[in-house]
A = this chain, B = another copy of it.
Amino acid sequence: MRQPIVDGTTRLLAIAGDPIAQVRAPAMLSGLLRHNAVDALCVPFHVRAADFAALLHGLRGLRNLAGVIATVPHKAVAASLADSLLPRARLARAANVLARGEDGSWTADMLDGVGFVAGLLAAGKNPAGQSALVVGAGGVGTAIAFALAEAGASEIALSDTDPARAEDLAQRLRATGAAARVAAPDPAGYALVVNATPLGMHPDDPLPIDATRLDPAATVADVVSKPVMTKLLQAAQQRGCFIQPGTHMTEQQMAAMATFFGFSGGDWSPAAIAALGLY
C-alpha cells in the first residue's frame, strides 16, 4: 500500500494571501511536515482583502485546521480579527500566524521579524549596534523594525510612501526605547538596508531604493521571496554588498511556526528544507 498524499485524518494549515501563486510555504511546510512524519499539509488559500474577514470567521468551525499563515495583504487585518494577540503581534499591530483553538478562537503572533533576524544571525550579520534602513512600514516592515530594535540595532530609519505611516511606526518604536526616525529611502550610510515593500515581485517594478547609493560594506535584505534574486539583490550583489533573500526570512521561521501551530519535535531547519530538494 502506497502512502497517500493526503487522507481523511490529515490536519491542515493554510496560507492566505493575494496573490498566492508565489508563496513557498505550501511546498516547504508540507515537505517538512511529511519529513517529520506529521499527518498535516500546508495549503494555499487565495483570498482578497475584502473577503478575508468572512473566510476567517467561517474557518472558526474547521476543526482539522491547525491555523492560518497570513501573508500580503492580510497581516494587519489578521491581528485586528484575532481573539488574542501575543506580544510581538500586539507591538507590530500585525500578525502572520493565527492558531485555531479547540473552541474556534484565533490566537495571533508575528514571526516575520523573528525569522528575519534569525537569518541575519545565521549568516554572521548580527544587527546589534548597527544602523538600519527599513523601506516599507507595513506589516512585515513593522515586524522587522521591532525585531531589529529587540536585537539591539543602534538606529532604525523608516521610509514609506505614506510618511504618516512611517512616523507612526517610528513613534511606536521610540516608545519601546529604540532610536527610530523617519528618513528618505536613501541607503547611503546604513550598515543594513531592508526592502519590506512588495517591490520586486513583478519584473517591471522599480527598485525600492537607489542601489548606486549603497555602501558596499552594507548588508541588503529583501522580504520578496519570488523571485529569490530580486533586481535589488542583484544590484546590491554587484556593488559588493552581502545579501539576504526573502527566502531566508521564511525558512528561518519554520521552526517557530511549527512550535506555534503545535507540531512539536522534528527538524524544521533550513538544512532540512534544503534536503527536501524542492528548490
Contacts and interface: CB of A to CB of B under 8 A. Distances in A.
Interface stretch (A25-33, A109-117, A171-179, A229-237): A25-33
A64 B64 CA distance: 19
Interface string A52-73: 1011111111111000000000
Copies of this chain held together in the complex: 2
Contacts of A278: 1-2, 4
Interface string A156-178: 00000000000000000000000
B45 A23 contact: no
Contacts of A54: 57-58, 60-61
A239 interface: no
Contacts of A277: 1-2
Given A5-B5, A6-B44, A47-B62, 5 more contacts: A5-B34, A6-B27, A8-B22, A8-B24, A52-B61
Interface of A: 1-2, 4-10, 12, 15, 18, 20-27, 30-31, 34, 41-48, 50-52, 54-64, 104, 276-279
